[in-house]
């Protein structure tokens, strides 16, 4: 199964339950597959959840030691196993490490993120929000979803050219890109080291950084010829040696496609004068 199939199946599922407010009710989702949620006090700290049938009744069990956000995700993840028909591969899998998760587990995570942040409800919020990690973390809080899942969904759905990158032990493990970046082939190589000049890399090295920072787009994007200035907002989690970075183009616009730096400079500086219309900064900026 590929990711698109998992996404489409998740959207079908969401349409059946039709949630209308955040945080969405995971109980209603569980009820849709005839399951009740059960909080298990005897699970090991690293375990998240499992499904079991007790006297003909289907139960989704979540770990009492996990917080509410994690439990909500687990419920949706377990629903994914059931709906997609993918077996659990939870042995020795860490809940936080992307690198160590199997492809089937990642598909179930993708499905779960679609349930927690349904496209129809979440997309309008994304377009209204300011681009930046703190505004995304506020959204996560309001939606009862994890910061990583929310940031990843945000970058995927936002209209502006934007990407969200997750690195573990200094290596890029995951990158979500908006349609604008995917279409422009802004490629962030996986398994590569965080770029030296990036704010993410400097934060990880314990160097000062006043995020969001401005930097050339080709610091992050491989074989990038459009130029342009990226804004990078980054955070580093020492505990797990996990680094995240949100990237977007200033003014939320993709630089035009030209490989000649002189021509690019002319376009950037010259055109505004030619049409005689002064660019109105407030128009492009978000609140
Ligand atoms: Zn699983």
For residue range 105-162, list pLDDT tens digits in order. Answer: 989 999 999 999 999 999 999 999 999 999 999 999 999 999 999 999 999 999 999 9
Q: What was the pLDDT predicted at 268?
A: 56
Task: Give the distance (Å) from ligand 1 centre to CA of residue 89.
Answer: 6
* Mean pLDDT value of segment 215-224: 95
Task: Give the distance (Å) from ligand 1 centre to CA of residue 80.
Answer: 8
Q: Name the band, by pLDDT with cuts 50, 70 and 90, for residue 89.
A: confident
Task: Give the distance (Å) from ligand 1 centre to CA of residue 200.
Answer: 29
- Pair of tokens at residue 130: 């300011």
Q: What was the pLDDT predicted at 266?
A: 59
Q: Which stretch of 68-77, 175-184, 246-255 has the lowest confidence by average pLDDT?
A: 246-255
Task: Give the distance (Å) from ligand 1 centre to CA of residue 61.
Answer: 12
- For residue 108, the tally of other CB atoms under 10 A from its CB is 26
- For residue 97, the tally of other CB atoms under 10 A from its CB is 13
Task: Give the distance (Å) from ligand 1 centre to CA of residue 153.
Answer: 19
Task: Give the distance (Å) from ligand 1 centre to CA of residue 18.
Answer: 24
Task: Give the distance (Å) from ligand 1 centre to CA of residue 169.
Answer: 23
Q: What was the pLDDT predicted at 198?
A: 96
pLDDT value at 276 more than 60: no
Q: How far is CA 257 from CA 81, 150, 160, 183, in A?
A: 43, 30, 16, 12
- Pair of tokens at residue 176: 């979500």
Residues 54-69: b if buried by 16+ CB within 10 A, e if exposed: eeeeebbbbbebbeeb
Task: Give the distance (Å) from ligand 1 centre to CA of residue 103.
Answer: 10
Task: Give the distance (Å) from ligand 1 centre to CA of residue 77.
Answer: 6
Task: Give the distance (Å) from ligand 1 centre to CA of residue 155.
Answer: 24
Task: Give the distance (Å) from ligand 1 centre to CA of residue 104.
Answer: 8
Task: Give the distance (Å) from ligand 1 centre to CA of residue 108.
Answer: 6
Task: Give the distance (Å) from ligand 1 centre to CA of residue 60.
Answer: 12
Q: Residue 147: helix, strand or coil by DSSP?
A: helix
Task: Give the distance (Å) from ligand 1 centre to CA of residue 93.
Answer: 9
Domains and CATH numbers, the chain: 3-116 (1.10.10.2910), 120-255 (3.30.450)
Task: Give the distance (Å) from ligand 1 centre to CA of residue 62.
Answer: 12
Task: Give the distance (Å) from ligand 1 centre to CA of residue 219.
Answer: 35
Q: Name the band, by pLDDT with cuts 50, 70 and 90, for residue 258.
A: low
* Mean pLDDT value of segment 274-282: 46
Task: Give the distance (Å) from ligand 1 centre to CA of residue 255.
Answer: 40
* Better-scored residue on pLDDT, 175 or 287: 175
Rounded Cα distance between 195 and 50, Å, is 39
For residue range 230-243, list pLDDT tens digits in order. Answer: 999 999 999 989 99
Task: Give the distance (Å) from ligand 1 centre to CA of residue 237.
Answer: 24
């Amino acid at each position: 199964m590929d990711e698109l199939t998992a996404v489409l199946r998740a959207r079908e599922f969401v349409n059946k339950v039709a949630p209308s407010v955040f945080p969405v009710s995971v109980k209603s989702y569980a009820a849709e597959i005839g399951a009740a949620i059960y909080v298990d006090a005897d699970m090991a700290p690293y375990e998240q959840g499992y499904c079991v049938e007790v006297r003909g009744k289907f139960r989704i069990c979540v770990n009492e030691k996990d917080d509410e956000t994690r439990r909500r995700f687990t419920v949706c993840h377990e629903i994914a196993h059931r709906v997609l028909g993918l077996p659990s591969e939870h042995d020795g899998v860490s809940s936080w490490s992307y690198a160590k998760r199997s492809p089937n587990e990642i598909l179930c995570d993708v499905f779960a993120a679609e349930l927690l942040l349904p496209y129809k409800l979440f997309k309008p919020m994304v377009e209204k929000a300011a681009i930046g990690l703190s505004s995304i973390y506020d959204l996560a809080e309001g939606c009862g979803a994890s910061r990583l899942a929310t940031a990843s969904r945000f970058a995927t759905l936002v209209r502006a050219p934007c990407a969200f990158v997750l690195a573990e032990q200094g290596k890029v493990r995951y990158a979500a890109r908006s349609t604008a970046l995917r279409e422009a082939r802004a490629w962030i190589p996986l398994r590569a080291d965080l770029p030296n000049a990036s704010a993410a890399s400097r934060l990880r090295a314990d160097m000062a950084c006043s995020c969001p920072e401005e930097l050339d787009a080709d610091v992050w994007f491989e074989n990038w010829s459009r130029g342009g200035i990226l804004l990078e907002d980054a955070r580093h989690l020492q505990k797990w040696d996990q680094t995240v970075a949100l990237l977007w183009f200033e003014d939320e616009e993709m630089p035009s496609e030209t490989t000649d730096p002189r021509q690019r400079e002319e376009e950037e500086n010259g055109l505004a004068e030619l049409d005689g219309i002064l660019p109105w900064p407030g128009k492009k900026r978000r609140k």
